[in-house]
Structure 1
């Protein structure tokens, strides 16, 4: 606000100089001088006419006429004390002019300017810490649409004064993503990425914004950033989720299944997002041309008297209908919570030359391995399904102990 008033004051001073400077400058009273110059011009013209008339014989006494002209010119010369006099402006006129200038300027700005908006803008800019804290706090009430706009305005104001603040640009980009303002999100994330291209949070945010643009070039850049992040030692779950989404949008359904399966392994079956991922995987496999008949959906329950070791491992295997101990397909999961539903497909096949989808009938076994060694069974709890036909759901209860 101080900068605004300083700029307004400077403009007012410049305007005052334009008004006062001409008033302070003394003005010569040149009316008599102009009359003298005019008389001289008339005198010279009349002499030229006499010369012509003398040559043509119209004038007989040329010398006498010239004398009369000179006497007439001398009679019209202004007095010396009046010649070259000056006029000065009264100080009262200057003061009144300045007062009028200030009054008119302030009145016009008050009437037609945006002083109220400037004051509101400054108030919003001062609220940036409080609005940012509310945005980040999980316990505070969510910001309203009006407060979100105020936060964006305040943040843009600060970034105008600190354009090298990459965290500020990152925050503005995240707000743009949350508000579905794609242009703001991409622009802010791009500025943050230019300032700090090695920051993983900024890379992730920039990739997320680019993927929402719908432009093929932006999507390729985003995919490159995500693949680089996926090769890090620690991989953020959001990176895998965006890769899965990107693969599904490109109709790379096998890639989508791969990434969603990775997410399942990262979050575990006890996570509330696990069933949603399972549904996404089934949808992707259906788009690949794999029917649900080629998959085995197993609902697993645990008897009430079975102690479940939360650090154990759940092993699920599919066997031929004759009960062969060698599994055709198998999968290993963390124990998680029960009941739960798991889906096995050809990707879980164990035997070369035979896929799970080749079986017309099968048996499913599930075992909770308590020591983490799937090769040992002593003391483990298990359950086995009845012979099930291809395409039918499977239900089993873990109630027996080796």
Structure 2
């Protein structure tokens, strides 16, 4: 049954129950109404007998004491004949007489109001029908519920597909389910939140978000999976890896701690060792990085089978780390900035970054400047550098920076390799207000610049101006 139909049916039932509870005192049957005719008859008889008593008293047929005694007896009989307080409702002359016998005027007035109010079955039925209708109309008319109804429709249509994706029953959704990608994504997220304590669903959600290049959301999903199951090696390594790539190839305290916990339990975990090697290299701890590479090499070599491709990749990573270390040593001895090592890359990209004067006041000391080269289709940067944004704001004629293979986040994902394959590349520059590699609202950025390198000999030179703020 469609979710919308279920919702409306349950809403009507709940509204009816609440309406009955709230209106129960008003809906209660007034038993006095059933005896109205008898009460009226009793009153008429009482009036006639009272008139007779008054006539006898006026003619001297009885004393004043006898008149009062018989009148009181008539009133008592009338009250006993009435089943409820509505029997007190008499005409104005009788009200005066009853007031003399201990009945307060407020009690008499209240009884009069209640007796005049007649509750018919038609009125009760009208209330029970109108209240639910008005409440449902108020729900749908008080705001735009299109997003809610669209989500319900998506859950009815692709809810099972979303569950199969998150539980690993299928690796990719069927073609018909991808026609409404927004609906499918909504169904996936709703499914995860319905199973909020399942770390594997959060991990699969992170993988899906990474495929859509929603890196911030993917990192949050991985973080939740890690908090739910910090002892799971697969979860911990996946979290550290996502954190590593979304932080510009740097290991922060949380990702480093996750990897160290994995290695304490399983010292031969190759995924954790590789991340530690790349993280230490990016942090400038070259000796530790080489030590991790050597541990990886020994572990792979000790396994049965042909692992020449993996060993070649490790050798390439080791050479890359050695070149970075050599460049860093040269920069220290010469007092100059790190320059491109010609043995590391066939080409370098020299980038001059300037800041539009209108944005000068928006740069704060804690801001970070990211300059990257990456494929036009997206993905992890081929080369990235991270420097304090104050260096840019203090530069008179622009801030100069060079990018090459030494700035690669992964040894097999380099600038020279992408150029050799003829891929379309873009150069980006952004000032991050949060210090994170991912773009966020409030950041300052330049328009992406396509990198024209085909047929160009030697180093490439480009210029970017940071001239807009991310909304």
Quickly name the TM-score band, shorter chain normalised. Answer: 0.3 to 0.5
Greater Cα radius of gyration, structure 1 or 2: 1
TM-score normalised over the length of structure 2: 0.41
TM-score normalised over the length of structure 1: 0.46
